[in-house]
Structure 1
Amino acid sequence: MRIVRGDLLALAQTGEFDVIIHGCNCQCVMGRGIALSIKQQFPTAYAADLRTEKGSAAKLGTYSSAKVETNGRTIIIVNAYTQFHWKGSGVKADYDAVHRVMRAIAHDFANSRIGYPKIGAGLGGGDWSVISAIIDTELEGLDHTCVDFTG
């Protein structure tokens, strides 16, 4: 895993990535963190989330996506369903769901430059050392980068 500091969305808009992934809950709520920024800047990504069944645990380990045009570039935004809900404290990230969705992404976007934040480790409360190991395993051999947000 390559790690860079910066703003994932800004880097995608300047052409650094073809695909960006962010962790979503299964409640069709993109109300905080990078999900909120994506919802505001790329409403078609939120529309893709809304086309899924709200509150369905069957979404865990799957994704919805939207192709967006920005600055003359096409980016695919992947809403990766890595946690069931956002409420309460503690670990909300589902490590098995991270495995499954990253495996699907590796299959579906194998020839893409992929960028993502620390999925599941912020608001999801997950252990980044565990999650990053999962991502490294599932995306092994692909061009993928974790973007550590600098604020």
Structure 2
Amino acid sequence: MKTVRGDLLELAAQGHFDAIVHGCNCQCQMGKGIALSIKRRFPQAYRADLGTAKGDRIKLGTYSQVRVSENGRSFVVVNAYTQWHWRGEGVLADYDAIGRAMRAIAREFHGLRIGYPLIGAGLAGGDWNTIAAIIDDALAGEDHTLVEFTS
């Protein structure tokens, strides 16, 4: 896993990534964190989320996606369903769902440049060391980069 500091959405718009992945809940709510930033900047990604069944646990470990363009560059925004709900106490991140989603992303986006934030370790309360190991295993051999947010 490569790590850079910056703004994932800006880096994608500058052409650094072919796909960006963020964690979503299964409730079709992109109301906080990077999901809200994506919803505002790339509303078509939110529409892709709304095209899935709200509250369906079967979504865990899957994803929706949409190709967006900005600054003459095109990339895919991937809404990975890594937690069932945004409400609740404790760890809301589903480690198994993160692994399943990232393995599927590795297959579909094989050979492409993939960027992501601290999936599951922010508002979802997951342990980043655990999640990083899951992502490293799932994306082994792929060009993938953690973008630690700085404004």
Q: TM-score range by the shorter chain?
A: over 0.9
Per the TM alignment, residue 88 of structure 1 is displaced from its structure 2 partner at its CA by 2.2
Runs of 4+ residues deviating >2 angstroms: none
| 1:74 corresponds to | 74
- Measured against aligned partners, the alpha-carbon deviations of 1:8-38 in whole angstroms (never above 9, x if no partner) come to 0000000100100000000000000000000
| 1:115 corresponds to | 115
- Measured against aligned partners, the alpha-carbon deviations of 1:20-72 in whole angstroms (never above 9, x if no partner) come to 00000000000000000000000100000000000000000000000001110
| 1:142 corresponds to | 142
Which amino acid letter does the alignment assign opposite residue 141 of structure 1?
G
Question: Does 1:10 pair with 2:10?
Answer: yes
Share of identical aligned residues, percent? 66
Distance 2:111 2:39 in 1: 26
Per the TM alignment, residue 141 of structure 1 is displaced from its structure 2 partner at its CA by 0.5
Equivalent residue runs for 1:1-150 within 5 Å: 1-150=1-150
Distance 1:143 1:89 in 2: 34
User: Please, what TM-score do these two structures have when normalized by structure 1?
Assistant: 0.99
Counterpart of 1:118 in 2: which secondary structure?
coil
Distance 1:88 1:149 in 2: 25
Distance 1:115 1:96 in 2: 20
Distance 2:78 2:150 in 1: 22
Per the TM alignment, residue 89 of structure 1 is displaced from its structure 2 partner at its CA by 2.4
Which amino acid letter does the alignment assign opposite residue 104 of structure 1?
A
Distance 2:122 2:93 in 1: 9
Which amino acid letter does the alignment assign opposite residue 78 of structure 1?
V
Q: What runs of 5+ residues in structure 1 fail to find an aligned partner?
A: none
Distance 1:129 1:89 in 2: 20
Distance 1:100 1:72 in 2: 32
User: Please, what TM-score do these two structures have when normalized by structure 2?
Assistant: 0.99
Q: What runs of 5+ residues in structure 2 fail to find an aligned partner?
A: none
Distance 2:43 2:76 in 1: 13
TM-align CA RMSD: 0.6
